Structure 1
Amino acid sequence: MDQTNPLVSKLQTNGNASVVVDMDVLPRKGNYEHSADPAEITDTFGQLLNYCSEAVSTCRSAINHWFNDAIFLALVIAYIIYIVFVIIFDTSTAFWTVVDLIIICLVVIHRFWGIPTVLAHITTPLLKIRRRHCVVSPKRQILAGRVFTASLFLALGVYLIVDLYDEPERLIPLGGLILFLVLMFVTSTAPSKVQWRAVLWGLLLQFIMGIIILRWPPGYKVCKLMGDAVAKFLSFTDYGSKFVFGEKTYTMHVVVFKILPVVVYFSAVVSILYYLGVMQVIIKGLAKLFQYTMNTTAVESFATAAHIFIGQVVSTVALKPFLRDITLSELNAVMTSGFATVAGTVIAAYIEFGVPAEHVITASFMSAPAALAVSKLNWPETEVPRGEEKDVYMNLNVGNEYNIMEAASAGALTAIKLISYVTVNLIAFISLLAFLDYFLSSMGSRVGHPEVTFQFLCSYTFMPLALVMGVRWQDCGKVAELIGKKIFINEFLSFADLGTMIKNDEINERSIVIATYILCGFGSIAAMGINLGAFTAADPSRRQDYAKGMLRAMIGGNVACFMTACVAGILYEGNPFQNMVEMNSNMTTMLNSTSVNGTSLVGNMFNQSSLINGTL
């Protein structure tokens, strides 16, 4: 048989030769030149079916889109009709109904056109008119900006002079604020390169927020209503906890069955807001505010605004594409803002401890510009930033879930990691704290001072720090303990202790407010290791840069919280030494009463020492 013929080949089967003919190369009989190949016919039908299926899918998606829009418009119209009936029924709620209408209009605009697109259509013609008829040289623009900043500082100075005239004791936190600024400037990596615009506007934004919240009655009422609304909103977590853990037993273990479920609930809500695009609008708005007022770059402005809601560990996912190219100053600003703020999901747990909700919410917002100011003062920019603004803001992904139910489920599942982090840290650090207290007490008992504990040392070490922030003297020791626990353990345990102090009425209202602003930040030693691991996982090539600036960023984040507390101490009304005078007068009265009944004084001292021993 011919071995070279491509039509025929041998196949050995069971020792016998068989012939295999290649049918594809055999000549075809008949006229096949004008007939279609069966494979081509199959491909044609397949392409036709693909076109049909694509057309059906397109029509289905369009119908679903129109159907969703119709349902959305129907709900909006129904709610507007409801608002009209509310105004007719009770005219006293007209203000809030107008607020509802404004919110509905913004939601409709964002749903169909997008708020940034509408604003671009409005601002673009105005910018063209300004460029044509209001041409201002760059030098004059810089001069106008400086005059405007100086005018705001002058107005702020006049306001403080008038406001503090009757209560000069509130000048103490003002001195503390200046002290922190001086310390950051002295320890700066390049004092001659400090960007004073960022520092000054950071302070201005802090004072503006503080005046609106703490001194302006309408602003405080709005913030108080928002805090009460958030607290009421979080209280619905109890229904889920009752169903899972039992109605009578879910309050027996407050942290596990009442506090931590709030994190799950709020995490699901935040995930839904991300799916709807609400969080993206808020974060971009705050980032633009920081960028235009403080002249910071897009990366550090975006990171600072994001840290208010999502925390530093989660934000590394969004910042991952930029970590390799950002400068050391930008990296320090990113890390400092992470240490100075707390995530929105954890704020919910702090509120459950009994801390004032309105101050917990505003503390993180006020500390954000302070973090940028501290970072630019402590690590000024000496390089040329390379990040593009449009790339930074586009990196904040909108929720990719299919619907709201999936978004809620994804948010709840995300909280598992956060809950496990909080739980294991509480177990570990409380156990270590108990061991440390035992060790210090045993060492102190050898020299006749068994009362020496970690809280005892912190109460004396950080007492001057609490005093310069405006805490009243008799509360400085307790607030100093909270500061020590925040820095050396974590802020979660400090907020738990603050909630206990509030419930037991151990410190006055002014000290509670200032302590809330002090503790509202992830500025602990343990957080340094967590953030180092998160940044290294995002971009391992800059591990040395992360390790180099982590301690400085942690200190800067705490200083930013301290500056926010100083602003609260300046603006919060009340005499910090009033209660100390009352305490001295009560002590004098008690001492005078010993001349009549000395046994009562001894009994009181015995009861107090028994209480202390029982607490220990």
Structure 2
Amino acid sequence: MKYIIAIAGLVAVFAMTYFASNDRSRIRYRPLVQMIILQIVLAFLLLNTTLGETLIRGFTSVFEALLAYAAEGVNFVFGGIMNEGTTSQFFLMVLMPIVVISALIGILQYLKILPFIIRYIGLALSKVNGMGKLESYNAVASAILGQSEVFISVKKQIGLLPERRLYTLCASAMSTVSMSIVGAYMTMIEPRYVVTALVLNLFGGFIIASILNPYRVSKEEDILEVQKERRQSFFEMLGEYIMDGFRVAITVAAMLIGFVALIALINGLFGSLFGITFQQILGYIFSPFAFLMGVPWKEAVEAGNIMATKMVANEFVAMLDLSTMTKEGALSARTIGIVSVFLVSFANFSSIGIISGAVKGLHEEQGNTVARFGLRLLYGATLVSVLSATVAGLFL
């Protein structure tokens, strides 16, 4: 039965993408079929094989070690308030390690290791996805550098891009998550679902963009010019990345304070006026999508609630809700896995502002272009999350 529902879910995703396409005559089906097969094979390897389990365990152990090292620094500064059960645990143990991981990314950038990895994985992807080198590079770089920082590395080309190529770049940035916060996710949901989502979203972004926004890149246009960073001393670079990581952590904390409080306020108002909370209403709206992703119908409203929270607020708020439901035993293991994969992306309303602001900072006119197709961007990125969760659900 789950395979029938999964097939129905995949058909629904592709139908919603196909009928929203801006030029169906340009869709190229061969690269699409290749990427869908790759998604299914990779999901099977990661979730149902010893090799996948070993790879995920290795990836997880690296981040567990980093979080342990980060705890040393956090404990040195905040040791007096790091008592078990205190309300400061989330900020200290989930958000503060972002500073350390950001510093490590800076070191790998400085040593030219990350640029090498990003460039050549991107080139390999371009042979599969039927898109340009720039689009492929951008997708890999977004998953490592972040949804706003990635545009700095290709700023030489931002002003020269037509709207369709710019859309694909922005869609990749919204469909992935930056490596600096992967460790934070792993403290809230199972690491294997984080890793699975990272891999599936990489291909899912190309699949949805290839249907929603199809085009061809000529040989003359297929160039990649990566901005060389200003040469810094090692410690100047390290200080910059540490402060960048701290700003990300503080920004996430501020957004959580605001969104959690506002959702509580809106829930209270709806409860008083209508006898049903705002999140419950959203849960009913999103429940059919949760069901098509493979969530059992009896849990579809709760899953839809979490999915809607992610879109309206952000993935951190939704992950906190999922963690609470998991501890209460309100959801089955299958539902937790499917919803976890769905949550690992930047597909939410606030990302529209973040991405358009990042592009606008580099090129005013192109930033305005991104703002104009912002809702279409969110639509595509959300379908990427639904697609990844549906494929993962086949093997849970």
Same fold, TM-score > 0.5, yes or no: yes
Counterpart residue number, 1:255? 90
Structure 2 residue 159 is matched with structure 1 residue 328: no
Counterpart residue number, 2:35? 202
Q: Deviations over 1:104-154 (max 9, x none)?
A: xxxxxxxxxxxxxxxxxxxxxxxxxxxxxxxxxxxxxxxxxxxxxxxxxxx
RMSD: 2.0
Counterpart residue number, 1:183? 16
Q: After TM superposition, list the pairs within 5 Å mapping 1:331-346 onto structure 2.
A: 331-346=166-181
Structure 2 residue 277 is matched with structure 1 residue 453: yes
What is the CA-CA distance between 1:300 and the residue it aligns to?
A: 0.9
Q: After TM superposition, list the pairs within 5 Å mapping 1:150-549 onto structure 2.
A: 168-247=1-80, 249=82, 251=84, 252=86, 253-353=88-188, 355-381=189-215, 387-389=221-223, 391-392=224-225, 395=226, 397=228, 400-403=231-234, 405-444=235-274, 450=275, 452-549=276-373
What is the CA-CA distance between 1:210 and the residue it aligns to?
A: 0.9
Asked whether the 8 Å contact 1:210–1:568 carries over to 2, the reply is yes
- For 2:199 and 2:50, the matched residues in 1 are separated by 19
Asked whether the 8 Å contact 1:360–1:516 carries over to 2, the reply is yes
1:193–1:330 distance in 2 versus 1, CA, 3 Å: same
What is the CA-CA distance between 1:406 and the residue it aligns to?
A: 4.3
Secondary structure of 1:529's aligned partner: helix
- For 1:420 and 1:249, the matched residues in 2 are separated by 18
Q: Deviations over 1:463-505 (max 9, x none)?
A: 1111110112332222111111111111111112222233333
Asked whether the 8 Å contact 2:352–2:371 carries over to 1, the reply is no
**TM-score normalized with structure 2 length:** 0.93
What is the CA-CA distance between 1:171 and the residue it aligns to?
A: 2.7
Asked whether the 8 Å contact 2:43–2:395 carries over to 1, the reply is yes
Asked whether the 8 Å contact 1:326–1:385 carries over to 2, the reply is no
What is the CA-CA distance between 1:545 and the residue it aligns to?
A: 2.1
Gaps of 5+ in 2: none
Asked whether the 8 Å contact 2:20–2:212 carries over to 1, the reply is yes
What is the CA-CA distance between 1:189 and the residue it aligns to?
A: 0.5
Query: What letter is aligned with 1:372?
Result: F
Query: What letter is aligned with 1:207?
Result: I
- For 1:477 and 1:465, the matched residues in 2 are separated by 10
How many residues get paired? 394
1:274–1:383 distance in 2 versus 1, CA, 3 Å: closer
1:413–1:470 distance in 2 versus 1, CA, 3 Å: same
- For 2:289 and 2:112, the matched residues in 1 are separated by 41
- For 1:360 and 1:248, the matched residues in 2 are separated by 29
What is the CA-CA distance between 1:385 and the residue it aligns to?
A: 7.5
Q: After TM superposition, list the pairs within 5 Å mapping 1:67-86 onto structure 2.
A: none
1:322–1:562 distance in 2 versus 1, CA, 3 Å: same
Determine which structure has more spread, i.e. the larger CA radius of gyration: 1
Counterpart residue number, 1:606? none
Query: What letter is aligned with 1:212?
Result: L
Gaps of 5+ in 1: 1-167, 445-449, 573-616
Query: What letter is aligned with 2:373?
Result: G
Q: Deviations over 1:396-432 (max 9, x none)?
A: 54684423x4443322111132123212211221221
Asked whether the 8 Å contact 1:327–1:384 carries over to 2, the reply is no
1:174–1:249 distance in 2 versus 1, CA, 3 Å: same
- Greater relative contact order (CA < 8 Å, ≥ 6 in sequence): 2
1:386–1:544 distance in 2 versus 1, CA, 3 Å: farther
- For 1:320 and 1:398, the matched residues in 2 are separated by 11
Secondary structure of 2:82's aligned partner: coil
- For 2:171 and 2:72, the matched residues in 1 are separated by 38
Query: What letter is aligned with 2:205?
Result: A
What is the CA-CA distance between 1:256 and the residue it aligns to?
A: 2.0
Asked whether the 8 Å contact 1:308–1:365 carries over to 2, the reply is no
Secondary structure of 1:325's aligned partner: coil
**TM-score normalized with structure 1 length:** 0.61
Asked whether the 8 Å contact 2:208–2:383 carries over to 1, the reply is yes
- For 2:52 and 2:229, the matched residues in 1 are separated by 31
What is the CA-CA distance between 1:437 and the residue it aligns to?
A: 1.0
Asked whether the 8 Å contact 2:155–2:227 carries over to 1, the reply is no
- For 1:387 and 1:417, the matched residues in 2 are separated by 36
Identity percentage over the alignment?
22
Counterpart residue number, 1:9? none
Asked whether the 8 Å contact 1:329–1:375 carries over to 2, the reply is no
What is the CA-CA distance between 1:443 and the residue it aligns to?
A: 1.4
Q: Once superposed, which parts of structure 1, at least 4 consecutive aligned residues long, lie more than 4 Å away?
A: 382-386
- For 2:244 and 2:54, the matched residues in 1 are separated by 34
Asked whether the 8 Å contact 1:339–1:523 carries over to 2, the reply is yes
